[in-house]
A and B are shown apart, each in its own frame.
Chain A
Amino acid sequence: MDEFFADLAAVYRDEIMALAAAGCRYVQLDEVHFTFFCDPALREALIARGDDPDTLAKTYTRLINECIAGRPDDMAITVHLCRGNYRSGWVAQGGYEPIAEQMFNELEVDGFFLEYDDDRAGDFQPLRFLPPGKTAVLGMVTTKSGDMETGDGLKRRLDEAAQFAPLDQLALSPQCGFASSTHGNEISEDAQWAKLDLIVATARAVWG
């Protein structure tokens, strides 16, 4: 497998350097498997097939670090921790505690887009492992439905999160994409714009 991972990392490095040459300075990796390692049922399934979730988390951390090695100093790299997003459905559930310390500290990225739109993502305590210099973008606004959050509700939840990580290392975003496939989620375009407007207004109120 070493050769496979080395080749795969080289592919990503080539792509990221091509983007850098074209002027791109912001790349995000959509990472699903780290959230699988937080789901007790999926952890059991991995163990049953002979994999150790904690070893896999370390393997994927090394792989991602090798993929982004050599990027320009002024290029931001973030990861989105996704629990699945297909026609408003999802795959995994469970808080970030099993992976937080290792992921936040060893993954050599600038920020983490974390789903936090419902109980499936757990509480904010794992944010206590967020080291200085890295940002946690909290996906508190769901993209799975048109149910509207409120600005006051988002501010209250940001206050809760700020008990575990400095507010200036936090940010606000949608929980995931409004469409990860050609089908899209079960949410109207008007609701999507309303949610984006709410995020902008809330962010301006909180961070200026």
Chain B
Amino acid sequence: MLFNLDFLEKIVGLQQRKVAFDHAFQHGHGEDDYTPAVLETVAPLRHANDITVDGYRFLADTTDLTAKVTMPSPSFAH
């Protein structure tokens, strides 16, 4: 599971679908059996619940430094 799909599949209206991918990962160690999922739109997109807020709170509670939240670019959904 890639981290970006954890985020995107929580957007109402998006769901994962497996497809062939012409440009596989190169020079790594896991390309043999890896087919990345793509997303398809099945309904109007909607933010039903917060996705990263609990993770942010958990992280912020562990440090006095600035806690950064990373999320996939919206272009992943296109």
Contacts and interface: CB of A to CB of B under 8 A. Distances in A.
A87 B29 contact: yes
B69 A28 contact: yes
A143 B77 CA distance: 26
Residue in B41, B52, B75 with the greatest tally of chain A CB atoms within 10 Å:
B75
A33 B74 CA distance: 10
Chain A CB count within 10 A is highest, among B25, B67, B73, for B73
A22 B69 CA distance: 12
A125 interface: no
A7 interface: yes
Nearest to B72: A30
Interface of B: 1-4, 11, 13, 22-31, 34, 41, 44-47, 50-53, 56-57, 60, 66-78
Given A25-B66, A86-B30, 13 more contacts: A8-B77, A10-B45, A11-B47, A14-B47, A23-B56, A27-B70, A31-B75, A79-B73, A86-B28, A89-B28, A89-B29, A92-B23, A181-B2
14 contacts: A8-B11, A8-B74, A15-B47, A15-B50, A19-B50, A22-B56, A30-B3, A30-B71, A33-B76, A60-B73, A64-B73, A89-B27, A91-B25, A92-B23
Interface of A: 3-5, 7-12, 14-15, 18-19, 22-33, 41-42, 45, 59-60, 63-64, 67, 79-80, 84, 86-92, 144, 180-183, 186
